[in-house]
Amino acid sequence: MDIKEREKNISEYFEMWIRRDFSGLEKIFSKDIYYSECYGPEYYGMSEINKWIEDMLKKQVVYEWRIKRFYHSEDVTVAEWYFREETDHTPSDFNGVSIIEFNQNGLISSIKEFASKAEHTALYHGHL
């Protein structure tokens, strides 16, 4: 799978959360996918992924999941992104990074997410 196809599949997955339509997920994720969310939960395989998505759609609305840039290596793509959502009527936003591994069939086999606060402060910028 080439880099453009990887980027397309990752972008498609992020868009599924905004559209709230996951009908094409099995074409992107491997059946034995491992997924680690940035705040701790882990999911093993498509049955757990589907249960998680079903639960999240009841309480969360994703307004934006914008990719800032991609970094690529042999079978791994890192996506740097911004995420804005509302869960149980409480809005939040943050920056993040996903380390995404692809299997030999070009399917996503692992996603590990890491988060950072959306607002950053340059404490010493311009004071050197």
Q: State the pLDDT confidence band at 1, using cuts at 50, 70 and 90.
A: confident
Bridge-based pairing state of the strands 76-87 and 90-102: antiparallel
Share of the chain above pLDDT 70, in %: 98
Let me know how many helices (H) and strands (E) the chain has, helices first: 2, 6
Give tens-digit pLDDT for 6-57: 999 999 999 999 999 999 999 999 999 999 999 899 999 999 999 999 999 9
The first and second tokens of residue 65, run together, are 């999941």
**Interacting residues of 116 by C-beta distance below 8 A, sequence separation 6+:** 94, 95, 96
User: Which candidate, 102, 100, 104, places its Cα nearest to that of 112?
Assistant: 100
- What is the CATH code of the structural domain delimited by 3-117? 3.10.450.50
Report the DSSP beta bridge partners of residue 35: 43, 111
Separation between Cα atoms, residue 35 and residue 37, nearest integer Å: 6
Separation between Cα atoms, residue 54 and residue 117, nearest integer Å: 26
Per-residue model confidence (pLDDT) at position 127 = 61
Give tens-digit pLDDT for 66-76: 999 999 999 99
Query: Could you give the 3-state DSSP secondary structure of residue 10?
Result: helix
- pLDDT for residue 119 is more than 90: no
Bridge-based pairing state of the strands 90-102 and 108-117: antiparallel
| Amino acid residing at 89 | H
Higher pLDDT, 128 or 112: 112
User: Hey, where are the domains in the chain?
Assistant: 3-117
Q: State the pLDDT confidence band at 120, using cuts at 50, 70 and 90.
A: confident
